[in-house]
């Protein structure tokens, strides 16, 4: 691991995180460069994700961008500096850990896609559990336009999210996918006016934050696992996870709340 993972402490942080009522909001904050990812920024993002994953008071996460873009992917100007890290190393050691951290964290992540999500920025959007988009937002696999291949999970997420035919069109032609098309293909759950995006994303995250955290974490893991196993394995996996969450206090609380006709109060126990 390159030794920039603690860059999140820097005064010029370009990743902000705010906590409110069990929902952590992570904001990519380099609006002048459409939130393009630099080496320090990738370190900050990874540190933030790992800290949130360990924090049991965080029940759901919102990931968004400052300004008019969600994220324009790799900062291409940084690549022109002397002695850039070889691309394979950059992807393996700085991008892949971010995607793995997003998928491994127990909390669900809601992507609030406020504008263009390009290159690895699109990959970050795909790695969220749910996405809500502002009118005018778009997804662009910009990799091909600069002679690169989709990375940071884009080639894996996209066919699963929109189907192989649409994925091939977007990945090979580099066509931009509008928010409206993204909703049609199920990539985003909803398209909303830009001025209501933050509230909409927060409302979804708040709903998630009110659910039983361990059941949510197991659901996230089971959905992901289902992509690579057959029905037989999936049935076994469901039984295994049900055995675990079925023994939690939160399950007992859910049952009691149903009988009492009141909202449940889940604690994560």
What does the binding site for ligand T3D look like in residue numbers (CB under 6 A)? 33-34, 36, 72-77, 79, 87, 90-91, 116, 118-120, 140, 142-143, 146, 148, 151
Q: What residues are paired with 20 via a beta bridge?
A: 23
- Long-range CB pairs of 81-90 (<8 Å, 24+ gap) are 85/2, 85/39, 87/148
Question: Residue 34 or residue 208: which is nearer to ligand T3D going by CB?
Answer: 34
CB of 117 to ligand T3D, least distance (A): 8
Cα separation, 250 vs 105, in Å, equals 20
CB of 161 to ligand T3D, least distance (A): 18
CB of 164 to ligand T3D, least distance (A): 22
- β-pairing, 138-140 vs 176-178, is antiparallel
Question: Residue 148 or residue 203: which is nearer to ligand T3D going by CB?
Answer: 148
Cα separation, 165 vs 207, in Å, equals 33
CB of 121 to ligand T3D, least distance (A): 7
Question: Residue 44 or residue 151: which is nearer to ligand T3D going by CB?
Answer: 151
Question: Residue 51 or residue 173: which is nearer to ligand T3D going by CB?
Answer: 173
* Residue 5 φ/ψ, nearest 5 degrees: -75, -15
Closest by Cα among 153, 142, 137 to 175 = 142
Question: Residue 187 or residue 217: which is nearer to ligand T3D going by CB?
Answer: 187
Cα separation, 122 vs 142, in Å, equals 9
Q: Which residue has the tokens 């291409």?
A: 76
Cα separation, 234 vs 41, in Å, equals 37
CB of 41 to ligand T3D, least distance (A): 11
Structure tokens that stand for 52 in this block = 């949130």
CB of 134 to ligand T3D, least distance (A): 14
Q: Distance from CA of residue 174 to its chain's centroid? A: 21
CB of 39 to ligand T3D, least distance (A): 9
Q: Distance from CA of residue 234 to its chain's centroid? A: 24
Question: Residue 28 or residue 34: which is nearer to ligand T3D going by CB?
Answer: 34
Question: Residue 80 or residue 231: which is nearer to ligand T3D going by CB?
Answer: 80
- 158 within 8 A of 170, measured Cβ to Cβ: yes
């Amino acid at each position: 691991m390159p030794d920039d993972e603690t860059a999140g402490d820097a005064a010029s942080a370009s990743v902000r995180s705010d906590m409110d009522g069990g929902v952590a909001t992570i904001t990519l904050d380099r609006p002048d460069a459409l939130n393009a990812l630099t080496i320090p920024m990738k370190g900050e993002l990874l540190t933030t994700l790992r800290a949130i994953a360990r924090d049991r008071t965080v029940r759901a996460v919102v990931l968004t961008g400052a300004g008019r873009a969600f994220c324009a992917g790799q900062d291409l100007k940084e690549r022109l500096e002397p002695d850039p890290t070889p691309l394979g190393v950059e992807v393996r050691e700085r991008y892949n850990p971010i995607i793995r951290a997003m998928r491994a964290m127990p909390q669900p992540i809601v992507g609030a896609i406020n504008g263009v999500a390009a290159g690895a920025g699109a990959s970050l959007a795909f790695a969220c559990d749910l996405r809500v988009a502002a009118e005018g937002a778009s997804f662009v696999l910009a990799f091909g336009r600069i002679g690169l291949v989709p990375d940071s999970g884009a080639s894996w997420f996209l066919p699963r999210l929109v189907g192989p035919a649409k994925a091939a069109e977007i990945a090979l032609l580099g066509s931009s996918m509008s928010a409206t098309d993204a909703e049609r293909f199920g990539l985003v759950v909803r398209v909303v006016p830009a001025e209501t995006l933050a509230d909409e994303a927060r409302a979804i995250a708040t709903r998630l934050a009110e659910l039983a955290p361990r059941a949510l974490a197991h659901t996230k893991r089971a959905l992901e696992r289902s992509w690579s196993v057959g029905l037989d394995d999936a049935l076994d996996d469901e039984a295994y996870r049900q055995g675990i969450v079925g023994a939690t206090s939160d399950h007992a609380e859910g049952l009691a709340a149903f009988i009492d006709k009141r909202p449940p109060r889940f604690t994560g126990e």
